[in-house]
A and B are shown apart, each in its own frame.
Chain A
């Protein structure tokens, strides 16, 4: 049915299809008529003579140049003529259009246009649509025209707020804040999807490229690889646990032999790879030369040196050590045991992706979180320890220092972690898992004191296990923390519809005087105060937490530390991921995936530590400072180089009573600002009101004064002009069509002058009559007033 279209189009006519259909019908009819004519002229040739005759006529007409269509008389061609009715040859059959059209080609006289039309008609397969039903045709289509006023509605006066900008609707301006822009630029640079489609172009391409079977095969392969990997890992672990020296020696020898064989083969078959192998050997040699390994300068070597006088085996061991050094430092030397071990390591590392040991690139251009750096100086741990000690000496009593220390510790830990990573980078070839603690004992690592190492390994493993457990705890803690965060996010998210709207505050109190209003306000402020004091009443719970041993608190804080989580994350086992990318790039992709995981793991790094630091800082700021009121020279000898005595200082140091415990004391993931002043807060807007989009908008709106004190007369008049002005005693009639027709003077309305409804109406009609009417109304009013006076 035809009704108003909700769009802004002024009117719409939908009768078009029907009209089209009718036209089609006409066309067909006319073409059919044509056919009849033609066939009539063509078909009915009774006898030879006639045919000759017509031919002759045609020839003549063609000679004449002007074609004359001759209507021949219709005569029955059929042989059987019934006495009742005329029956043609194929009377019973349905006449096909093609039959009729067949003759068309033969007629020379038919115009090309008609032929084309007929051909088109022949090709048409679809049937014509049914005509409209009676009821529907009965329904008269009346087009109702409503002039929808253009955007600056005549009635929406003076909306000053610069709120609904047109360009904001466009997608381009999606990113408004700098953070959003940054994110967008990042997404853009990585060709990540910005809008709805969740897949990246690469992913889409991969989806296109890979069929289901392929994917299945690939998945199976991956599964197998993963199984193999875990198998090798287990094997390697088992082997590394074997304590027998002999076994290891044999093993090593076998490996070396294998390696040599392989190398020789490699020289023959794959010289490039062999070259690379050689290069690697060269590299290890260089490293050996640079480090003090195998030079009998370590702790172990010193101990052995003492023993060497009496113990033959010790001497031998040292000798071997030196030999190793020699071997390694020789150019083009045969790969040594370490090298061997490296091989061994390689094998194992083959199972494990070697980038697990890769250092995380600190300056990652992709990950924005990693741009933040730790403080650069990396002082020696000993030095730092000493400084620490000094610090401790200096400020033993001060609590604040404790906090600082903690912070230092945190930073230290972070730095240590960095260093650890660097070490890992350096000792890529060292198979033994090196933890930071035994970083100094690296020199000890040689194959001779395997048991030592094994012991250490065991210890390491134990430690690792412990660490893992701890890390797991931390992770669980983290999860719970996260959950709490999420909850805290979700619970207040129940939007109150009424919030934005002007919900009347209806109650049983009737307010009639200013005093009542004051009382109202006081009630309100009391409420606010109560609200403010609610957290204060929470204190009974807080002291409990305060009474807990401080080390516990510390411990908790440390548990939240990410570093431990990071150690956990670094040893992440490869997670089977659904293959989404092309097979050729598999390894790279796995690489990047892992990298992404690691990145993700490290991504939180800065944020959380920053958060913790931030929180600590705020706590710090909130804590009352110790006021030192000591005046040198009072009651004592004063002068250059003299300091007030300790006693005096203690006496005059004023400790301010501790403030009530912070509200966020028990919430590790929350910072609740304590700056809010209840007395002022009662007058402040707590939520951003509806039409405003950010606080600055609102603030700027409030900040602009509109009074006469600050503005000139005209400005004030403009600023305070009401939205709707009505004239007293004038009837406001409903909008008429004339009013709705967009006028040329619509600019006036845009300018935002208040519109007198009455005047507008009068302008819409004739000016003279409007004036008259106004006059009449005035007269009426006067009369009324007179009457009332009487």
Chain B
């Protein structure tokens, strides 16, 4: 007698090892899964809410300085090491993972104006108000030895900033002039000056390593080529810019932080008008640093906040502030694109997450997948009013909020006035000037 039985292939339902997840047969017939848009919308809304709920960007505060932190530098080879210089001339080395000070050096008398690490990470340079450039070893001095610089160069004038070449033994300082130094020489190999002005910042282009840019006190930004004896060109703006930073992924873009509360991204091939004006701060912007991916940058402002801007966005995507944080003087984005460091007036260095709601630590694959899915959902429904409202809600301290409102009113009044003037004057006599064109005075070559 033949008995008919149901027969199934165990490969279809048995997992290979016990560590695999269970096999679930799925039917993707769309009729079985209706309402895909409303369901995804709900998911997106929930994802957005969770994102906001988990948005706790503040990680740690590094205290130990006895004066305002004036400058921060990243270690070029180690993620966990950070250097900071204070207004009392003290330089500290920090271990971020342990959140402790490794070493402190009384480097200068007066302010430490600038600090940078050598590309190999073995030593770092500091400049100070005492007109010296000092090179220090990264490691601690041997037992029983005093903290002494490897090298000291005595300059003629005060240096206000320093930056090291990406791969060669040269560095640049700025003060009354922009000087290019060879590490082995005690006098600059090149010295640029264009008119009598002092400089506040000099930065090497990280990609086109022979190029430099500096911010001068005559409201200009000057570009140099290290191989030339004269500066390339400069753009003069309405107000002075404090610092600038090159985009590490797109060599010809740089962003400068200006005294007029804005940041400007320029294309160095065409300085006639900035590519983008970034506004949101309510006070002078003191420092700016790009994320290593080149997609965003962070800015520190005198208004006691840090803001993160997308590189081509006119407004910030994020604002960080705490009650105790005073005027933020310097800011850096860590080289792994995860953290932001800010040094402020009240002697603390703060560590922030670059992505406020990011979960720190190792994620499982499924966690990762869920995060990615949520991110995509948020992107997909970002234009929907509810999602937008939740995703964009930020808390601001009352003072800044008021200032912001005031500024908005001022701006509105100005535009209204301009419109009225235009309306009541001969057509064409009051030209329409775009926001980008407004801030540039001239370009000199």
Contact = CB atoms under 8 A, between A and B. Distances in A.
A734 B294 CA distance: 9
B252 to A, nearest CB: 7
A719 B251 CA distance: 30
Contacts of A727: 336
Contacts of A731: 77, 79, 292, 335-336
Contact of A729 (B79, B227, B314): B79
Given A505-B393, A507-B393, A730-B336, A703 B37 contact: yes
A747 B233 CA distance: 37
Nearest to B317: A502
B383 A689 contact: yes
Contacts of A711: 28
B208 interface: yes
Nearest to A688: B383
Contact of B33 (A504, A509, A710, A728): A710
A517 B375 CA distance: 18
Contact of B386 (A146, A524, A734): A524
Contacts of A520: 389-390, 393
Given A144-B225, A706-B40, A711-B28, A506 B336 contact: no
B97 interface: yes
Interface in B63-114: 77, 79-80, 97-98
A524 to B, nearest CB: 5
A501 B390 contact: no
A20 interface: no
A395 to B, nearest CB: 45
Contacts of A726: 293, 336-338
B383 A146 contact: no
Contacts, number: 209
A784 B377 contact: no
B393 to A, nearest CB: 5
A7 to B, nearest CB: 9
Given A504-B315, A514-B53, A509 B393 contact: yes
B395 interface: yes
B398 interface: yes
Contact of B37 (A140, A144, A705): A705
Contacts of A512: 53
Contacts of A719: 376
A517 B53 contact: yes
B36 interface: yes
Nearest to A690: B383
A737 interface: yes
Contact of B385 (A144, A508, A686, A710): A686
B225 to A, nearest CB: 6
Interface in A704-747: 705-712, 716-717, 719-722, 724, 726-737, 740
A707 B373 contact: yes
Contacts of B37: 702-703, 705
B382 to A, nearest CB: 8
B248 interface: yes
Interface string A695-706: 000100111011
Interface stretch (A100-108, A540-548, A657-665, A677-685): A677-685
A698 B269 CA distance: 35
Contacts of A155: 249-250, 293-295
B80 A706 contact: no
Contacts of B98: 788
A723 to B, nearest CB: 8
A71 B252 CA distance: 64
Given A6-B269, A705-B40, A721-B372, A505 B389 contact: yes
Contacts of B206: 734-735
Interface in A482-522: 497-498, 501-514, 517, 520-521
A517 B52 contact: yes
Given A139-B228, A155-B249, A734-B207, A504 B319 contact: yes
A786 to B, nearest CB: 12
Contacts of B210: 144
Nearest to B314: A501
A5 interface: yes
Contact of A3 (B232, B383, B390, B393): B232
A4 B252 contact: yes
Interface string B367-408: 001001101110011011110011011111010010010000
A interface, by DSSP: helix, strand, loop or mixed? loop
B392 A504 contact: yes
B269 A683 contact: no
Interface in B325-378: 335-338, 362, 369, 372-373, 375-377
B43 interface: yes
Interface string B8-49: 000000000000000000001010010011011101000001
A118 interface: no
A324 interface: no
B383 A685 contact: yes
A4 B269 CA distance: 6
Contacts of B413: none
Contact of A709 (B33, B77, B318, B396): B33
A142 interface: yes
Contact of A683 (B229, B375, B385, B395): B385
**Residue in B338, B381, B389 whose Cβ sees the most chain A Cβ within 10 Å:** B389
B187 interface: no
Nearest to A518: B49
Nearest to B445: A1
A412 to B, nearest CB: 47
A471 interface: no
A522 B383 CA distance: 18
A757 interface: yes
Nearest to A702: B37
B380 A706 contact: yes
Given A497-B435, A705-B36, A728-B362, A683 B317 contact: no
Contacts of A698: 383
B268 interface: yes
A735 B295 CA distance: 13
Contacts of B52: 511, 517
A738 to B, nearest CB: 11
Contacts of B376: 706, 719-720
B62 interface: no
Interface in A764-790: 784, 788
A698 B380 CA distance: 10
B372 A722 contact: yes
B59 interface: no
Contacts of A709: 33, 36, 39
B230 interface: yes
Contacts of B336: 726-732
B152 to A, nearest CB: 30
A506 B394 contact: yes
Contact of A514 (B49, B80, B335): B49
B381 A702 contact: yes
A654 to B, nearest CB: 35
Nearest to B371: A722
B394 A508 contact: no
Given A506-B396, A757-B293, 17 more contacts: A3-B445, A142-B225, A146-B208, A498-B314, A502-B392, A507-B396, A512-B53, A517-B390, A682-B385, A701-B380, A705-B37, A706-B380, A707-B377, A710-B28, A731-B292, A737-B207, A740-B251
Interface of A: 1, 3-6, 138-140, 142, 144, 146, 155, 497-498, 501-514, 517, 520-521, 524, 528, 682-686, 689, 698, 701-703, 705-712, 716-717, 719-722, 724, 726-737, 740, 757, 784, 788
21 contacts: A1-B233, A3-B233, A142-B225, A146-B252, A155-B250, A502-B317, A504-B319, A504-B392, A505-B389, A506-B319, A508-B398, A511-B393, A520-B393, A524-B386, A706-B377, A724-B295, A726-B293, A726-B337, A735-B207, A735-B250, A784-B80
Closest 9 CB pairs of A and B: A734-B248, A734-B206, A732-B292, A510-B395, A705-B36, A505-B392, A689-B383, A731-B335, A720-B372
